[in-house]
Structure 1
Amino acid sequence: MPRPRSTLLSIERIVEAALKLVDESGDFSFPRIARELGVSQSSLYNRIESREHIVELLRAHLFSSLPSESVADKSWQDAARTLIRSYRDRFAQHPHLVPLLVTQTVQAPEVIGMYEDLALTLERAGLPAERIGAAISTIDYFALGAALDASAPAEVWHVSEDQFPALTRAVAGSAAAPNRVADAFEFGLEILISGIETQVKQKVN
């Protein structure tokens, strides 16, 4: 006699089902996950503690889905670029997940490790200790916003030249870039690096 399907249930399958639902609709629920997997809702509670638990498992999944690149042998500037690009890339895979992740405390060791690397990189840059937390938060804002921008429509602004001449010129200028999203991200990344360098110089002076 074949085993009931519920015996095949695993945390990995639950996470995959939740992520599929988030990609499709921007959210998930225990009843919808149960229907997606063809199991009873009670069987989910045998493996998952709460909705918050699933969100944190989803966060961990994002950061284990791509290989991490060592930054130990890079300058702090290149290490920061590598870490921030990697951070953006992970969230850009599933931008609808971002609003869920920012509403609760980060606990997944895979993600905390990335923040540790950022903190070490900023220490190596010479940024004052009291500014490192603010710098990491700013990187959060930038990377998460860039991930959301990756799913933006091709035409971000529909403008009238008569009413908004400066923005019309800006849109026309950005149209010359091969990839607006990538161009904007790299532009912002260099502003971040330059800003950190400025903060370090102010500390020295």
Structure 2
Amino acid sequence: MPRPRSLTPHQLATAALTVIDRDGLPGLSMRAVATELGIATMSLYRYVPDRQALERQVVDLVLGTVHTAPPPGEPWQRQLAQLLDRVRAAVAAHPGVVPLTVSHRHTSAAVQLWSEAVLRVLTAAGFTPRRRALALRALLAYLTGALQNEHLAPLSGEATTALADLPPEAYPLLSRTASEAARVPAAEEFHAGLDLLLTGLSAAPR
């Protein structure tokens, strides 16, 4: 196969994302990406040392589209909600990358920029350094968990049906709650859970 003179990180990440969108995350390999680019597998190692580096570029590509300037003039809770909602929207177009947003949350430049934006909002709201650290971790944990629930293990469909069909004499609350949960749209679930978290952050000492 002909080898191009050079490939940009954007081209590499785009090719890897194409593979993930088409074949799922298990289909991502150096060989698959090289084939997508029309180069030999060994040629790909001229640009990235391993699959981990390639994964990180994919996360940066997807989340690099997230606007990190919070809406001006809004309460800090609304600003944080917007920042989380933008990540959810970006990932929705490429659900296969959800596990990568978790495994590369500490090394992705895009995640670092987003986290810096969150910390700016928390700082302006009067959070102390320790409370900022706790709040950021709580928000990240909620965001990554919600994304996994929505795209990898949705609490709807067969899973919710199985819970709703549990014997009510043994699981009266779980079966009833699962029946109700089946009627909750994903967006409502995400925003309602986030509201609960933000309410808790509002009530806690800063």
TM-score, shorter chain, exceeding 0.5: yes
Q: Which residue of 2 aligns with 1:189?
A: 194
Q: Is contact 1:76–1:125 with CA below 8 Å preserved after alignment?
A: yes
TM-score (norm: length of structure 1): 0.81
Task: Write out aligned runs for 1:1-205 (5 A).
Answer: 4=2, 6-7=4-5, 9-23=7-21, 24-27=23-26, 28-68=28-68, 70-104=70-104, 106-151=106-151, 152=154, 154-157=157-160, 158=162, 159-162=165-168, 163-177=170-184, 179=185, 181-200=186-205, 203=206
The secondary structure found in structure 1 opposite 2:4 is helix
Distance 1:19 1:44, change over 3 A: same
Moved more, 78-87 or 142-151: 142-151
The 1:57–1:45 alpha-carbon spacing in structure 2 relative to 1, beyond 3 Å, is: same
Contact map agreement 1:88 1:144 (CA 8 A) in 2: no
Q: Which runs of 5+ in 2 are unaligned?
A: none
Q: TM-score of the superposition, structure 2-length normalised?
A: 0.81
> What RMSD in Å do the two structures reach over aligned CA positions?
2.5
Q: Secondary structure at 2:204's aligned position in 1?
A: helix
Looking at structure 1, the residues matched to 150 and 103 of structure 2 have their Cα atoms a distance apart, in angstroms, of 21
What is the count of residue pairs matched by the alignment? 197
1:18 partner letter: A
8 Å contact kept, 1:22–1:97: yes
> For residues 133 and 93 of structure 2, what CA distance do their matches in structure 1 show?
26
